[in-house]
Structure 1
Amino acid sequence: MEDMGDLPVNFHGNLVSATTDKELSTLISQAKSTKRPVVVNYGASWCHACRQMLPTFCNLSNEYPKSLFIYADIDKCEQETQDVRYTPTFRFYRNGEKVDEFYGAGPQRLRDRLWLQS
């Protein structure tokens, strides 16, 4: 099974992978301090829908350079993701607070939500 922890490098450097609970919480906290919007893709390497959505997530990170895009593997960030019930789940944060969320595959749904939240 391919490891999704190694995300492709994007043009703006605003796409990162959180591989620990501490890393995930630190990334969201840093974005809060700079008032940067955050989009987190909670997924798993064994999830077919997650692999299907990852290219769209990566492409959108190039279209929205002012937002921080984080891929968080639920099997590596177990404490921070214990309330995630479905994969993939996409959460949108502003000032460190969750403002929106949806789950499941749907590239156009992700595009639409990102447009609404940016």
Structure 2
Amino acid sequence: MGREAGKDEKQNGLSNLKTPSTDQDLSDTLLQIRSSKIPAVINYGASWCRVCNQIMPSFQQFSKEFTKLSFAYADIDDCPETTQHIRYTPTFHFYRDGQRVDEMFGAGEERLHDRLWLHS
């Protein structure tokens, strides 16, 4: 999904989810998060990760439900330089006032929902 498509979807209320597909895109997304006052969550996953694929539909749904949060999904294989610190997939990073304030490893729909509620 390109940047323009993401903007259009957000304006239509369909989604609040960015999917940076290169290291540069992810770096830009991280810069936007760090310079923004909007709380954000980044889901670091991989296409080959079974657990990542299981939680992704819920993550997409939550991006529509939690409209005060900014959402991003980054595939570690598409962004190898920017995600080299990620050791477990899925890993969720939560940001507030531009700073990472929380981290969650693994999936679990209810666990993720509760964490998103906490940070929204």
* TM superposition score category, shorter chain reference: 0.7 to 0.9
Cross-structure match for 1:104: 106
The 1:107/1:13 distance shift into structure 2, 3 A limit, reads closer
TM-score in terms of structure 2 length: 0.84
Give the corresponding residue for 2:42: 40
* Higher share of residues assigned helix: 2
- The number of residues matched between the two structures is 113
- Cα RMSD after superposing both structures: 2.0
Runs (4 or more) in structure 1 with deviation over 6 Å come to: none
Structure 2 residues not aligned, in runs of 5+: none
The change in CA–CA distance for 1:37 and 1:12 in structure 2 (over 3 A counts) is farther
2:94 counterpart residue number: 92
Percentage of matched positions with identical amino acids: 51
Deviation digits for residues 25-62 of structure 1, max 9, x if unmatched?
Answer: 21122233331111100000000000000011001011
| Structure 1 length-normalised TM | 0.86
Q: Distance in 1 between matches of 2:34 and 2:85?
A: 21
1:114 matched to which residue of 2?
A: 116
Q: Which moved more, 1:61-70 or 1:50-59?
A: 61-70
- Other structure's SS at 1:84 match: coil
Structure 1 equivalent of residue 75 of structure 2? 73
Corresponding letter in the other structure for 2:74: A
Q: Structure 1: which amino acid aligns with 2:19?
A: S
